[in-house]
Structure 1
């Protein structure tokens, strides 16, 4: 049967895609079964995008307290929520595409 696989990986999260890469490196005909986006929940919705959101919050906090760091900021500092979310999604998309 020409469509037979040596290894089928269910889920393309951190363990799944590494297992698939290694199996392919070993010369095994390999397939990944993924319901939605490659790289799993962590890279697309959980860990990575959340860290990007937290980093934006951290930068905003620093900008609200510049004197603590020997910095002077004149004017107001406001978060742009649409841009913050777009940055987080962009990072997730780059990770997914890699």
Structure 2
């Protein structure tokens, strides 16, 4: 996902870029965060919270959705790493 961001920023520097939610959730999030959770159930809760965050557009609701993501991230081995990844998604993909 980082190489895609770098290439699109270079080629389309003036254009807003968004990644498809399937790639964000099913590919990128799984690759970067699934291994941070002991159980698949804990990861699925986290993934669902991230997806809900992605589908939220109201500023106040975004704050609430992010709090839900942070709660779910507490089950990760490395909470900071999982949240840093989510913050990079928010910045780079308009999540």
TM range (shorter): 0.3 to 0.5
Q: Between Structure 1 and Structure 2, which shows a larger proportion of strand residues?
A: 1
* Structure 1 length-normalised TM: 0.32
* Structure 2 length-normalised TM: 0.33
